Structure 1
Amino acid sequence: MDSLDAKFPKYMIYCVFVACLGSFSNGWVIGSANIPGEITHNCPNGNAHIFDKTFPDCLPMDNALWGFAVASFCVGGLIGGLSGGAIQTRIGRKKAIIVNNLGYIAGGVLIGCSVHEGMFIIGRILCGIGCGMGSLSIPTYIGEVSTINARGAMGTCNQFFIVVGILLASVIGLPLATVPLWRINYAIVAIPAILQFFLMSTCVETPRYLVSVNKIEEARVALQRLRGSANVDREFYGMVEGYFGSAAAQSMTNYVFDNNATDEQLVPARANNDTMGVIQIFKDPVIRRISFTVIMLHAFQQLVGMNAVMYYSTTIFSTAFDPEFSKYMAIVTTAVNFVMTGVSVALIDRMGRRPLLLMANAGACIFSVLLVIGYVFNIPALLVVSVFLYVASFAIGIGPIPWLMTSELTPTYASSSVGSIGTCVNWAMNFLVAQCFPVIFARIAGYSFVIFAVVAAAAFVFTLVFLPETKGKSLETIVQGFEKHRT
């Protein structure tokens, strides 16, 4: 069997699973402050040492400081995203994933041992650095090791594991939302980080990265291991061709390429095979167009407002229910997110990326409007249903697809810089929403979701006009599609 026709080789699935442990850690950091948040910064005993002589019962913070503390991991995410591109280019995708676990381990331990709010914030920032680097290196790794037929499902697993992390952080956070157990809730993130730190050494480096550093034979061995018994000749030729051009690929791979028997065109060698920097990607007309698409996908993903729901779902439900019941509703919200992300994993390689994203943006727009109506007219049932369907709309497309398409749209020689810019935009918008939403929500309450409805409508139009379908295409073929529309 040709490897281009392969779907789910076992070793490839294993490598994706191990890589996604970092996504789980990311989700845990996002969800860990939701349920135990109140007891963390506003417990009855304040910073008194009633339960333990070493650690204060909680870390008293007003709402503004707590909002910053919760959102501060986005600052770390921005730092991790900025540095992640250079790191994964220098040491490889595999080692970059290993390194980013250090942020989770150090941050989780620091928060668990916090005796001052400053320690809590620094710990969140360190965890955020792990999130930022992982947000870049994990989707890149998955995209570069996956088969064409399974790349959508494998790429969506990144978001699926994030959602699993959010869900378990909420469920486990419920019994841990007491003094002094809240500390354990934040420190748990170190466990999957330590596990991945060691397991990642059993996975291969991505073949495309090895090709980019001219380790051609190692790349072929890695690809063969990822594809099992399938014949990798044609797929490997395409990888080398996409980086060095057709002539070099034929000499390096000994693959017999019959241009008369196919509709494919010979790919010319690039003038410079060096990895593109951030400035260079905006000078090249093809990569500039790809970069614009990636940036807009990531901006829309955050500005559509999902993290406003994730960070402050308990607060939102408190307008309709008592505080205790609101905690359970927040957990149900994460469960909906989990289920629908699983649906996305099953559908994305069947329906394609573009239809799912269009459907998701339309749903986010419609249910944001219904959410406003539920607030304005005080209709608890409509409020709950709208939140759940809004979350479902996000989970089925807006959540996973931008990360997946970042790796699908970008050639290896530009992937680190384009991915780094996209990741930075994502985390910057994440921080903006986390900081501004509580202020906006305090002023205009439910009307704040009108903003998210407008953003979702704009995202729908952008997807309809600018986003190509990448289902069933090799990464090299996708880039060639942009080259045909060079501007």
Structure 2
Amino acid sequence: MFYCVLMATLGSFSVGWTIGSPNVPGEITHNCPTGNAHINNPQLPDCLPMDTTLWGFAVSSFCVGALIAGFFGGHIQTKLGRKLAIRYNTIPWVIGSILMGAAAHNAMFIIGRLITGFSCGLGSVCIPTYIGETSTIRARGAMGTCHQFFIVSGILLASVIGLPTSTVPLWRLNFALVGIPAIVQYFLTYTMVESPRWLVSQNRIDEARYSLARLRGKKANIDGEFYEIVESQLGSAAAASVAHSPDNTMKPITQAQRAEGEDEEDALRPTHDDDAVGPFSDEASEQVNRQDALNHIQVFKDPLIRHVTLIILFLHFMQQWIGMNAVIFYSTTIYAEAFDQSMSQYMAIATTGVNFVATLLSVLLVDRMGRRALLLIAEFGCTLFSMLLVIGYALHIPALLVVSVFLYVASFAVGVGPIPWMITSELTPTYANSAVSSLATAMNWSMNFVIGLVFPLIFEKIAGYTFCIFIGVGIVAMFVTAIFLPET
């Protein structure tokens, strides 16, 4: 199981590299002293001169690709399967890395970044889904945070590599390296196990049992878990036929079998917690035999799924508008308010290091504290330290500015970063998972694009006071989480 999660999250690492690669070498990429002269290479310009607006668009353009691929990602992963979607998802990273590394003009660089965004968007749908569907219940929290953990690992390494490559022409290498883990992942996906839940949804029952047995180990008893998977996808009659089978295998389920009466199967169903509360208990039990996958429109027509979808969409909106990616994209610019250019680059790398360590802490805490409590603490921390950051900027206190950014990043990484991705599959029934996941990914990346585009313009005008916007978002997020978000 952990091996399969590790292989899947190689794509998460590439997402992080795509996000973090413009941070440290960004200045030399679009504003080097020699401009677009061909001094170091007669075939390629030394850099790609852009004004603030165009560079902001170039940095954020991958979010447009991610938005498009994310919106259709649910359909793609349902059609191809989780494993095959992850494999084919590596191809745009390779193409985009070549275009960016060999960019002869601004448009070529932007198109390359846009294409890498396709992989970021589809990966943001199929990787968390694959992790949620292959992990055990006990390990699902820790495994779920691996997606965010490898994203921040990619951001960190991109920043570290960005320091020695912040020269002409080595900045090209920094953007091109994202293709390497993508190529490695393409071949390693052949060693992964397909999601048992997806296989059951495709009526490939024996393959699903074999897949689950490989994930859980030779000595594990998978009967109970397999029953629940089949029941959730095909109904209790189908699940009961597995239980009644002498060898616990079955042929593909026919429509007639799905439609059989289920009264006689009630005793075989797993027991439910009678003390469960809220709209995620009784109504979910009544809909347990609903097999048809919902599309983007249907999730808003179903009262139960609409409630879940709106909460998830808000969490993904909040994850971007609380300001973290503004810090990741432009931390060097923020630190330039207090330090020189060289020290600002080192501080930017240290910031990604804090992000890495705090995300590792989240892996340890998420199953102990619970998703809701950890998210509330993280939102409070982001709001508090955004306030202190504004104070540090207003009073010109460099030490307070640095400490505030570090603690803000730590607060985000411990909860706001990983939990929206993880909680999407945990709150959503399997039949609605693909549609809700793709909507959430589209929301996340569209807001990511807006932040990346407008933040440098706003920061240019009001500098550190920009974080007042993020303070307001953080306050609203705490109230919404406290009132509407259930524990999973």
Q: Do both share a fold (TM > 0.5)? A: yes
Q: Provide the secondary structure at the position in 2 that maps to 1:282.
A: helix
Alpha-carbon distance between aligned partners in 2 of 1:269 and 1:310, rounded to the nearest angstrom: 42
How far does residue 195 in structure 1 lie from its aligned partner after superposition?
A: 0.5
Q: Using the alignment, how far apart are the partners of 1:75 and 1:252 within structure 2? A: 45
In structure 2, the partner of 1:27 is 16
Question: Is 2:237 aligned against 1:247?
Answer: yes
Where does residue 121 of structure 1 map in the other structure? 110
**Take 1:227 and 1:61, find their aligned partners in 2: how far apart are those partners?**
52
Could you tell me which runs of 5 or more consecutive residues in structure 1 were left unpaired when the two chains were aligned: 1-11, 471-487
SS of the residue 1:431 aligns to: helix
Q: Is the 8 A contact 2:232 2:291 kept in 1?
A: no
Farther-moved stretch of structure 1 (246-255 vs 201-210): 246-255
The amino acid of 2:55's aligned partner reads W
Distance 1:321 1:39 in 2: 18
Partner of 2:256: none
Per-residue CA deviations over 1:166-222 (Å, capped at 9, x if unaligned) read 000000110011111111110100000000001011111101111111111111111
Q: Distance in 2 between matches of 1:194 and 1:271?
A: 40
User: Match of 2:304, as an amino acid?
Assistant: V
SS at match of 2:41: coil
Task: Confirm or deny that 1:295 pairs with 2:285.
Answer: no
Distance in structure 2 (CA, Å) of the matches to 1:337 and 1:446: 20
How far apart are 1:262 and its partner, in Å? 4.3
Are positions 1:359 and 2:377 aligned together? yes
Q: Assess if the C-alpha contact under 8 Å between 1:212 and 1:412 holds in 2.
A: no
Question: Residues 214 and 306 from structure 1, CA distance in 2 versus in 1: closer, same or farther, beyond 3 angstroms?
Answer: same
Aligned to 1:482: none
Counterpart amino acid of residue 400 in structure 2: L
Provide the residue aligned with 1:181 in structure 2: 170
Which residue is 2:411 aligned to? 393
Q: Give, as a single letter, the amino acid of the residue that structure 2 aligns with 1:243.
A: Q
* Residue 463, structure 1, aligned to residue 481, structure 2: yes
The whole-number CA distance in structure 2 between the counterparts of 1:468 and 1:397 is 15
Residue aligning to 1:282: 300
For the residue of structure 2 that corresponds to 1:314, the secondary structure is: helix
Q: Which residue of 1 aligns with 2:340?
A: 322
- Give the aligned partner of residue 251 of structure 2: none
Distance 1:155-1:260 versus aligned 2 partners, 3 A rule: closer
Structure 2 Cα separation of the partners of residues 434 and 134 of structure 1: 20
CA positional deviation for 1:247:
2.8
What is the SS of the residue equivalent to 1:94? helix
The answer to whether structure 1 residue 160 and structure 2 residue 149 are counterparts is yes
Distance 1:173 1:18 in 2: 25
When residues 250 and 41 of structure 1 are mapped into structure 2, their CA distance, relative to the original with a 3 A threshold, is: same
Asked if 2 retains the 8 angstrom alpha-carbon contact of 1:209 and 1:412, the reply is no
User: Does residue 308 in structure 1 map to residue 298 in structure 2?
Assistant: no
Structure 1 369/275 Cα, relative in aligned 2: closer, same or farther at 3 Å? same
* Cα drift, residue 446 of structure 1: 1.6
* Equivalent position amino acid for 2:236 in 1: S
Which whole-Å CA distance do the structure 2 matches of 1:340 and 1:97 have between them?
27
Matched, 1:88 2:77: yes
Structure 2 equivalent of residue 429 of structure 1: 447
Tell me the equivalent position of 2:365: 347
Q: How far 1:242 moved relative to its partner?
A: 1.5
Structure 1 residues 268 and 387, CA, compared in 2 at 3 Å: closer, same or farther?
closer
Per-residue CA deviation, residues 7-30 of structure 1 (Å, 9 max, x unaligned), is: xxxxx0000000000000000000
Amino acid in the other structure paired with 2:388 = L
Q: Does 1:233 align with 2:233?
A: no
Report SS of the residue matched to 2:138. Answer: helix
Q: Kindly state the Cα deviation for residue 264 of structure 1 after the two structures are TM-superposed.
A: 5.8
SS at match of 1:278: coil
Structure-2 residue corresponding to 1:443: 461
CA distance in 2 between counterparts of 1:415 and 1:188 reads 33
Q: How far has the Cα of 1:252 moved from its partner?
A: 3.3
Percent identical among aligned pairs is 61
Tell me the distance in 2 between the aligned counterparts of 1:19 and 1:363: 30
The one of 112, 115, 130 equivalent to 2:119 is 130
Q: Structure 2: where are the runs of 5+ without partners?
A: 249-264, 275-281
Q: Which residue of 2 aligns with 1:485?
A: none
- Give the TM-score normalised by the residue count of structure 2: 0.91
How far apart are residue 259 of structure 1 and its match? 6.0
CA contact (8 A) 1:246 1:268 kept: no
Work out the CA distance in 1 between the residues paired with 2:307 and 2:287.
20
Map Cα deviations across residues 98-142 of structure 1 (whole Å, 9 max, x no partner): 111111100011100100100000000001110000011100000
Is the CA contact 1:304–1:455 (under 8 Å) kept in the aligned structure 2?
A: yes
| 1:308, distance to aligned residue in structure 2 (A) | 0.6
Change (3 A) 1:29 1:169: same
State the shift of 1:42 in Å.
1.0
- 1:375 equivalenced with 2:393 (yes/no): yes
Report the AA paired with residue 227 of structure 1.
R
Once the two structures are TM-superposed, the CA of residue 257 in structure 1 deviates from its matched residue by 7.2
Q: CA deviation at 1:152?
A: 0.5
Task: Give me the TM-score of the superposition, normalised by structure 1.
Answer: 0.92
Question: Structure 1 segments of 4 or more deviating over 6 A?
Answer: none
Q: How big is the alpha-carbon RMSD for the aligned residues of Structure 1 and Structure 2?
A: 1.6
C-alpha contact 1:248 1:269 (8 A) present in aligned 2 = no
CA deviation map 1:417-476 (0-9, x unaligned):
100000000011111111111122122222211110111111111111111112xxxxxx
TM-superposed deviation, 1:270: 6.4
Write the distance in 1 (CA, Å) between the matches of 2:320 and 2:46: 34
1:261 Cα deviation from its structure 2 partner: 9.2
Deviation at 1:244, TM superposition (A): 2.4
After alignment, is 48-57 or 306-315 more displaced?
A: 48-57
1:200 aligns with 2:192: no
Distance of 1:91 and 1:116 partners within structure 2: 36
Cα drift, residue 263 of structure 1: 4.8
User: Counterpart amino acid of 1:425?
Assistant: M
1:332 corresponds in structure 2 to 350
How far 1:227 moved relative to its partner?
0.3
Counterparts of 1:347 and 1:252 in 2: how far apart (Å)?
37
